[in-house]
Chains A and B, each alone.
Chain A
Amino acid sequence: MSTTPAQAGWRFKAPSVIPGFGLTLGFSLAYLTLIILIPLAGLLWRSASLGWADFWAIATDERTVKALEVSFGTAIVAALVNVVFGTIVAWILVRYRFPGRRIVDAMVDLPFALPTAVAGIALTTLYAPNGWIGQLLMPLGIKVAYTPLGIVIALIFIGLPFVVRTVQPIIEEIDKEVEEAAATLGANRWQTISRVLLPGLAPAIVTGFALAFARGVGEYGSVIFIAGNLPYVSEIAPLLIVIRLEEYDYAAATAIASIMLGLSFAMLLVINLIQSWSRKRYG
């Protein structure tokens, strides 16, 4: 509920009656500096030692570009898929009572807890051409394991709980009266969902998308098993970084890392802006 006009310029929030604004702000800044800023600054420092021409050569190297395309492309596709199905899962968990609901609810968190390598191996076994699911898809000409499609599937697995857990509490908050109001006004089920419910869920869905996407971009453990890791085809950027490290080419590794950092930061910033815009509108 923001009834105040948009804040004019940058200002410190007026301290509340509870003391400690200075202390907590100082702590937060020091903490973030230690945990996030210093390592990232080191990364940039290291890649800066490379020189602009070399950096540009690495950045535009076809293998790097392809790896970044694969990483960001599959992460976006997987996050989009998760947005659709994660929202449906969250809806079912909140709105319906069925036997085993609590078990399904608990299962959603498994991708959080499971070692990612285990997930990767399990998915590879299932989707390999001779695996349970892979051999069913094979005759249809669909190859999953060792292709970008396999990466997408691994990232869907990893990202699902982010969408479900951000959307779920918002669905719980939806007042049943709002749906009833739409019905008395003549809206059918579809109109109620598309015009009343989804717009209300949009900010949460965007957050879930951002989290799933960010997780997908950085995912390594599960992907390397199912991806096949063919350069130019199914090699992800984090793997390329590891390869460069193993070649003792630290400069190239940090350069690719910096590019990933920049792209991720830009995308998350845009998502955040969209959110604060929608929050300002809907209060």
Chain B
Amino acid sequence: MEVRVSNVRKEFATFPALHDVSLDIKSGELIALLGPSGSGKTTLLRLIAGLEEPTRGQIYFGDQDASHRSIQERNVGFVFQHYALFRHMTVADNIGFGLKVRPGATRPSKADIRRRATELLNLVQLPGLENRYPAQLSGGQRQRVALARAMAIEPKVLLLDEPFGALDAQVRRELRRWLREIHEATGHTTVFVTHDQEEALELADRVVVMSQGRIEQVGTADDVYDHPTSPFVYGFIGDSSTLPVKVENGQVWVSDRPIGLPITSGEPDGPATLYFRPHEVDLLDDCGGCIAGTVVASRRVAGTRRVELEIGGGRERVEIELPIEHAATQKSRIAFRPRRWKVFPTA
């Protein structure tokens, strides 16, 4: 089922949590809402589910306006960060709950509900746990049961709110792969919220990067990593180094010297900020148009060495990443030029 969010605004009391957000989700897509806390990602998810009502704007399921339909009518599967399982019910009763509360006419028979619960338990790779209580399961198992419960009602959309947020790193990685497999097997349109960019980039078909109640960028993992369209996305996704620069005469300048980066996409003249990835730099020997700085610190981080440089009279600091054994790590002065970069005008 396609989901279309159209100019949605949401205010809590007078505090705006979302400003005119629009988003098209294709049928069968796996979408990640990624952002720091307070960015409005969970609010957007809850609006789609119907757990909140938009202050303005519409939410369409297919071509029907669902904005003011009740949660029960929307038929969405929602998975909560802390599972929200019913602890007085067995695993099988938890999974069957959504079918059991249907009105008599559409309610499957008891045996059918039981069979469906067993099927779903097999799908989420927890066979044989029908008669356990949630308290007897581990966190990872509980979250699998929660997903099975959400899928039991054959939802139009599957919504997951930080589904792996409460689990430890090992289990998270395992469940990530597992969720991808389930998505491929069932083809549900799925939206999940996360603040973990690794999770979002690895898992999602498209990533929606959010900040301060606005969508900053929507794109594939490659799009948002290689072609960030805003300073926020550049800074939020992956590592980045920044340097205050000036744009003039089609060149990027650092303290009155051009650094050999010609402007190609029409950034206006004036003060700006240069963004680049610390590991995407070319080291240069002689400096006719480059960034040169004094080494002030050098740290070993996993497989690379991070070198902190002080640039020019302004003593701005930037970080670059070098291979461990690189000769330049012994030098006191390093000249480099970013291979891939972007300048954003300083507001």
Residues 200 to 247 of chain A near chain B (Cβ within 8 Å): 200, 202
B78 touches A (CB below 8 Å): yes
Q: Is there contact, CB below 8 Å, between A282 and B135? A: yes
Question: Considering only CB atoms and an 8 Å cut-off, how many residues of chain A contact the other chain?
Answer: 24
A33 touches B (CB below 8 Å): no
1/0 contact string of B92-136 vs chain A (CB within 8 Å): 000001101110000000000000000000000000000001111
Q: Is there contact, CB below 8 Å, between A1 and B84? A: no
Q: Is there contact, CB below 8 Å, between A180 and B87? A: no
Q: Is there contact, CB below 8 Å, between B49 and A184? A: yes
Q: How far is the CA of A191 from the CA of B99 in the complex (A)?
A: 12
Q: Is there contact, CB below 8 Å, between A177 and B76? A: no
Q: Which residues of B contact A177 (CB under 8 A)?
A: 80, 82, 84
Q: How far is the CA of A268 from the CA of B85 in the complex (A)?
A: 31
Contacts A187-B72, A281-B88 supplied; 11 other A-B pairs, CB < 8 Å: A1-B135, A3-B135, A180-B71, A180-B80, A181-B78, A185-B153, A186-B98, A200-B87, A282-B87, A282-B133, A283-B87
A115 touches B (CB below 8 Å): no
Q: A187-B101, A188-B72 are in contact. Are A181 and B153 (CB under 8 A)?
A: no
Q: How far is the CA of A195 from the CA of B98 in the complex (A)?
A: 12
B61 touches A (CB below 8 Å): no
Q: List 13 A-B contacts (CB under 8 A).
A: A2-B135, A177-B80, A177-B82, A178-B84, A183-B51, A185-B149, A185-B153, A186-B98, A186-B153, A187-B98, A187-B101, A199-B88, A281-B133
Q: A180-B80, A181-B84 are in contact. Are A283 and B135 (CB under 8 A)?
A: yes
Residues 43 to 88 of chain B near chain A (Cβ within 8 Å): 49-51, 71-72, 75-78, 80, 82, 84-88
Residues 157 to 202 of chain A near chain B (Cβ within 8 Å): 175, 177-178, 180-188, 191, 195-196, 199-200, 202
Q: How far is the CB of A174 from chain B (nearest CB, A)?
A: 11
Q: Is there contact, CB below 8 Å, between B98 and A185? A: yes
Q: Is there contact, CB below 8 Å, between B88 and A184? A: no
Q: Is there contact, CB below 8 Å, between A184 and B78? A: yes
B91 touches A (CB below 8 Å): no
1/0 contact string of B149-168 vs chain A (CB within 8 Å): 11011000000000000000
1/0 contact string of A78-91 vs chain B (CB within 8 Å): 00000000000000
Q: Which residues of B contact A2 (CB under 8 A)?
A: 135
Q: How far is the CB of A195 from chain B (nearest CB, A)?
A: 7
Q: Which residues of B contact A182 (CB under 8 A)?
A: 86, 97, 101
Q: How far is the CB of B68 from chain A (nearest CB, A)?
A: 15
Q: Is there contact, CB below 8 Å, between B101 and A191? A: yes
Q: A184-B51, A185-B153 are in contact. Are A283 and B86 (CB under 8 A)?
A: no
Q: How far is the CB of B83 from chain A (nearest CB, A)?
A: 8
Which partner residue on chain B sits nearest A198 by CB separation? B88
Q: Is there contact, CB below 8 Å, between B49 and A283? A: no
Q: Which residues of A contact B88 (CB under 8 A)?
A: 199-200, 202, 281-282
Q: How far is the CB of B340 from chain A (nearest CB, A)?
A: 43
Q: Which residues of A contact B50 (CB under 8 A)?
A: 184
Q: Which residues of A contact B149 (CB under 8 A)?
A: 181, 185
Q: Is there contact, CB below 8 Å, between A196 and B86? A: yes
Q: How far is the CB of B26 from chain A (nearest CB, A)?
A: 22
Q: How far is the CB of B148 from chain A (nearest CB, A)?
A: 12
Q: Is there contact, CB below 8 Å, between B101 and A195? A: yes
Q: How far is the CB of B86 from chain A (nearest CB, A)?
A: 6
Q: Which residues of B contact A187 (CB under 8 A)?
A: 72, 97-98, 101
Q: How far is the CA of A212 from the CA of B333 in the complex (A)?
A: 82
| Among A1, A184, A200, residue most surrounded by chain B Cβ atoms (within 10 Å) | A184
Q: Which residues of A contact B97 (CB under 8 A)?
A: 182, 185, 187, 195
Which partner residue on chain A sits nearest B138 by CB separation? A3
Q: Which residues of B contact A183 (CB under 8 A)?
A: 51, 71-72
Q: How far is the CB of A217 from chain B (nearest CB, A)?
A: 30
Q: Is there contact, CB below 8 Å, between A186 and B135? A: no
Q: Which residues of B contact A175 (CB under 8 A)?
A: 82, 84
Q: Which residues of A contact B100 (CB under 8 A)?
A: 195
For the complex of A and B, the 8 pairs showing the least CB-CB separation, nearest first, are: A283-B135, A185-B98, A177-B84, A181-B84, A184-B78, A187-B101, A282-B88, A199-B88
Q: How far is the CB of B73 from chain A (nearest CB, A)?
A: 9
Which partner residue on chain B sits nearest A191 by CB separation? B101
Q: Which residues of B contact A180 (CB under 8 A)?
A: 51, 71, 78, 80, 84
Q: How far is the CB of B82 from chain A (nearest CB, A)?
A: 6
Q: Which residues of A contact B84 (CB under 8 A)?
A: 175, 177-178, 180-181
Q: How far is the CA of A3 from the CA of B134 in the complex (A)?
A: 10
Q: How far is the CA of A3 from the CA of B101 in the complex (A)?
A: 29
Q: Is there contact, CB below 8 Å, between B71 and A184? A: yes
Which partner residue on chain B sits nearest A177 by CB separation? B84
Q: How far is the CB of B250 from chain A (nearest CB, A)?
A: 55
Q: Which residues of B contact A195 (CB under 8 A)?
A: 97, 100-101
Q: How far is the CB of A170 from chain B (nearest CB, A)?
A: 12
Q: Which residues of B contact A181 (CB under 8 A)?
A: 78, 80, 84-86, 146, 149
Q: How far is the CB of A178 from chain B (nearest CB, A)?
A: 5
Q: How far is the CA of A199 from the CA of B86 in the complex (A)?
A: 10
Which partner residue on chain A sits nearest B87 by CB separation? A282
Q: How far is the CB of B14 from chain A (nearest CB, A)?
A: 18
Q: Is there contact, CB below 8 Å, between A186 and B72? A: yes
Q: How far is the CA of A220 from the CA of B72 in the complex (A)?
A: 51
Q: How far is the CA of A78 from the CA of B160 in the complex (A)?
A: 46
Which partner residue on chain B sits nearest A201 by CB separation? B88
Which partner residue on chain B sits nearest A3 by CB separation? B136
Q: Which residues of A contact B76 (CB under 8 A)?
A: 184
Q: How far is the CA of A188 from the CA of B97 in the complex (A)?
A: 12
Which partner residue on chain B sits nearest A278 by CB separation? B88
Q: How far is the CA of A2 from the CA of B84 in the complex (A)?
A: 19
